[in-house]
Amino acid sequence: MVTSPTHASPGPAGLSGNRWLQLLIGVVCMSMIANLQYGWTLFVNPIHDKFHWSKAEIQVAFTIFVLTETWLVPIEGYLVDRFGPRPVTLIGGLLVGISWVMNASADSLTMLYISAAIGGTGAGAVYGTCVGNALKWFPDRRGFAAGITAMGFGAGSALTVIPIATMIKTQGYEATFFNFGIVQGAVVFCLALLLAKPGPGFSVPSPRQQAQWASKRDYTPAQMATTPVFWVMYAMFVMMAAGGLMATAQLAPIAKDFKVADVPVSLLGLTLPALTFALSIDRVLNGVTRPFFGWVSDKLGRENTMFFAFALEGVGIIALSQFGQTPMAFVILTGMVFFAWGEIYSLFPATCGDTYGSKYAAANAGLLYTAKGTASLLVPFTSVLAASGGWSAVFIAASALNLFAAFLALAVLKPMRRKMQQQSAASPVLGAQQPATS
């Protein structure tokens, strides 16, 4: 295990050496891949109406997308740590465009699934690169930087929800897939040319107070995987991601079954159908929550912030199940659910970076991010569970997982991380040979 660099040296020359520019590029790239996940729910019903495949069969494509987007990120993160962010993101942009162009002409479930795998691979390459790069450039503000970057993915589709919904109604979902696929892939490809990693001796221009229990050493992914703290975080990530992914993939079917999808709702001076309104607000709140809670965790601690946000998510899901049949409540409560869910994509990477160091941040965060893929395996079963027990059963299960994760944050993860760092500080020689455990 190696120690983190402490002496400043120049990073990449020119604009590519500006860490705030690197952060901005990451945000824009993330926004360009957001629709692959958050826009998917708009396509489920049109695909079902055209081919009469069951919604559970169609949602398998969503699961494949999330699996390939997440489970390949450790490999992509390794490539980023070794070769830099540029080549990985270039390839990711190409795959993202190809995927949606294929969706435009997919006339079989097999082709739909293959396209989902291609899109997931491309989105994961972009996602893992941008988050890992942010953690490297901002070791002093990991929560905020990871949150701002993840905000691009959470809120990136907010401005395009209405155009996508409109184009699907006026030109068909096929033209929508094709046109947005070309644009999204092209933007990522071009911006990738500007991405760069910090120089080998990079340190922040004005040192700030380190995050609570921040590691002085860099753990490789293999070393990280031997520590109990990692697996506690992984289990919590799965619990939290499951409920949010269910809401993301099933929001349109839920709105339809609640009979509120096309009911006009007036809020904030706007009047839109409840589903369209909910999708727009949800994307904004799902994005804003990431830097907000990331910043809060920089100040108040990761686990303390996790407890509050996770508990809020659990309460929001239960409230949605009870009051979501009212159009206004549906819009407001789905916003609450997404606001309390999106922060996992800043809190977990930041906690991972604090615990295991910066050098292998992309690969380590990528390995933890596979928890999202594990959680996605539950999404198709929500359609089956809803068909037999109604959405209430799905909501209760999701809420229980969220509340349990909130409990684990304070009762298990916090003392384990503190003990791990204390052991590491007390045994520096031993810690340099093997990772400290708790």
C-alpha to C-alpha distance for 435 and 234, rounded to whole angstroms:
18
Q: Is the pLDDT of residue 243 over 50?
A: yes
**pLDDT at residue number 5:** 41
Confidence of residue 286 (pLDDT cuts 50, 70, 90): confident
- As a whole number, mean pLDDT of residues 215-238 equals 91
Strands (E), 190-244: 217-218
**In the structure encoding, which two tokens stand for residue 284, read together?**
């904004």
C-alpha to C-alpha distance for 357 and 353, rounded to whole angstroms:
5
Residue corresponding to tokens 């993301």: 248
Q: How far is CA 261 from CA 22, 276, 290, 292, in A?
A: 39, 8, 27, 29
Cβ neighbours of residue 170 under 8 Å, at least 6 residues apart? none
Q: Are 307 and 406 in contact (CB under 8 A)?
A: yes
Give the bridge partners for 3, in sequence order.
Answer: 217
Number of Cα atoms under 13 Å in the Cβ half of residue 338: 27
**In the structure encoding, which two tokens stand for residue 210, read together?**
């380190």
Q: Is 215 helix (H, G, I), strand (E, B) or coil?
A: coil
281, 132, 214, 4 alpha-carbon torsion, rounded to 10°: -160
Highest mean pLDDT among 148-157, 199-208, 242-251, 361-370: 361-370
Q: Is the pLDDT of residue 24 over 50?
A: yes
Q: Is the pLDDT of residue 74 over 50?
A: yes
Kindly report the pTM of this predicted structure: 0.76
C-alpha to C-alpha distance for 307 and 344, rounded to whole angstroms:
11
Residue corresponding to tokens 């402490």: 6
313, 315, 320, 322 alpha-carbon torsion, rounded to 10°: 160
C-alpha to C-alpha distance for 113 and 19, rounded to whole angstroms:
37
Please tell me which residue, 12 or 7, carries the higher pLDDT value.
12
CB atoms within 10 A of CB 169: 12
- As a whole number, mean pLDDT of residues 12-41 equals 84
Q: Are 273 and 261 in contact (CB under 8 A)?
A: yes
Q: Is the pLDDT of residue 426 over 70?
A: no
Give the residue extent of every domain in the chain. 13-201+222-420
Query: Beta strand 264-267 with 270-273: parallel, antiparallel or unpaired?
Result: antiparallel
**In the structure encoding, which two tokens stand for residue 127, read together?**
């996602």
Q: Is the pLDDT of residue 10 over 50?
A: no
C-alpha to C-alpha distance for 69 and 310, rounded to whole angstroms:
24
Per-residue pLDDT tens for 397-414?
A: 888 999 999 999 999 999
**In the structure encoding, which two tokens stand for residue 22, read together?**
């690197």
**pLDDT at residue number 190:** 95
Confidence of residue 70 (pLDDT cuts 50, 70, 90): confident
Confidence of residue 15 (pLDDT cuts 50, 70, 90): low
Least confidently predicted of 58-62, 294-298, 355-359, 421-425:
421-425
**pLDDT at residue number 7:** 38
**pLDDT at residue number 195:** 93
Query: Beta strand 2-3 with 270-273: parallel, antiparallel or unpaired?
Result: unpaired
Residues in the chain: 438
| CATH code of domain 13-201+222-420 | 1.20.1250.20
- Looking at every residue in the chain, the average pLDDT score rounds to 85
**pLDDT at residue number 359:** 82
